[in-house]
Amino acid sequence: MTAAAPWPYPFWIAHRGAGKLAPENTLAAFGLGLSHGYRMAECDVTLSADGVAYLLHDERLERTTDGRGVAVEQSWDALSRLDAGAWHGARHAGEPLPSLATLAGFAQARGLALNLEIKPGPGDDARCGRIAAAETARLWAGRSPLPLMSSFSRVALQAARDAAPGLPRAHLFEWLPADACEQALDLGCVAIVAHFSGLDAAAISLAHAAGLRVLSYTVNDAAVAERLRAAGIDGLITDAIDRFDPATG
């Protein structure tokens, strides 16, 4: 896939599966996003100590599971036994942390496209990028569209590129630097993803002229969404899955 290729992804993307309406990065969240009409979801991929790719946003376990400690220091056997749903509400109690393999089966069976953000644990950027990309390439071999792999970490993106050069990649930025396009192109990315506050028509046009697509996070306000749509944005990541109509994208 090249930057000039037709863009295969939906405009609206459900953040961490279903925004705030279900426990993030769980199958319950992806199912809820689908029920609201979303055909693409963003989620966070990290690694266990023994190299299993699974979904978790934070470096530590306390916020979204009943576990404790630094996640990357724990085995998949231990992580797979954690409750990743009760923190959000009793009806989600017992919801597990999904492996990337479990998510692949779920998404492929339902036609759900994915933006997989590589979220390395402390000091684990290269290993996480390499294994996450290699596993994604294996799980989605022969499938279309391939997941869009993204990361804030240049080390993780470089490792992902080297491990699975055929996967599309996006460079994540919190604040868009002047050389964002150059940084993304240097890593063979097809897109940049940036916080909405740093994007305007000029920045989007500059990226398009460089052959890059542009996505924005986390857009929950209708006025911001309309401003970015008018500026030519290629996709919006939102928590507000119950307030936007994904059929409009």
Residue 1, in any domain of the structure = no
3-state secondary structure string across 8-57: CCCCEEEECCCCCCCCCCCHHHHHHHHHCCCCEEEEEEEECCCCCEEECC
Length of the chain: 249
- With respect to residue 56, please indicate whether it lies within any of the assigned structural domains: yes
Whole-angstrom Cα distance, residue 39 to residue 79?
28
Whether pTM exceeds 0.75: yes
d(CA 149, CA 104): 14
33 domain residue, yes or no: yes
In a domain, 83, yes or no: no
Residue 92 is among the residues annotated as catalytic for this protein: no
Number of domain units in the chain: 1
What pLDDT does 4 receive? 52
Residue linked to tokens 């970015």 = 228
CA distance 223 to 104: 34
Q: What is the CATH number of the domain that holds 45?
A: 3.20.20.190
At 112, the amino acid letter reads L
Domain assignment of residue 115, yes or no: yes
88 has catalytic annotation: no
Alpha-carbon distance of 65 to 24, in angstroms, equals: 11
Over the stretch 111-166, which tens digit does the pLDDT of each residue have? 999 999 999 999 999 999 999 999 999 999 999 999 999 999 999 999 999 999 99
Given 36, 57, 195, 208, which residue is catalytic? 57
Answer whether residue 79 is part of any domain.
no
Q: Is the residue at 90 inside a domain? A: no
| CB-CB contact of 175 with 196 (8 Å) | no
Residues of the chain with pLDDT under 50: 1-3
- The three-state (H, E, C) secondary structure of the chain, written as one string: CCCCCCCCCCCEEEECCCCCCCCCCCHHHHHHHHHCCCCEEEEEEEECCCCCEEECCCCECCCCCCCCCEHHHCCHHHHCCCCCCHHHCHHHCCCCCCEHHHHHHHHHHHCCEEEEEECCCCCCHHHHHHHHHHHHHHHCCCCCCCCEEEECCHHHHHHHHHHCCCCCEEEEECCCCCCHHHHHHHCCCCEEEEEHHHCCHHHHHHHHHCCCEEEEECCCCHHHHHHHHHCCCCEEEECCCCCCCHHHC
Residue 78 counted as domain residue: no
What whole-number distance in Å separates Cα of residue 9 and Cα of residue 215?
11
What residues make up the domain containing 222? Answer: 12-61+98-248
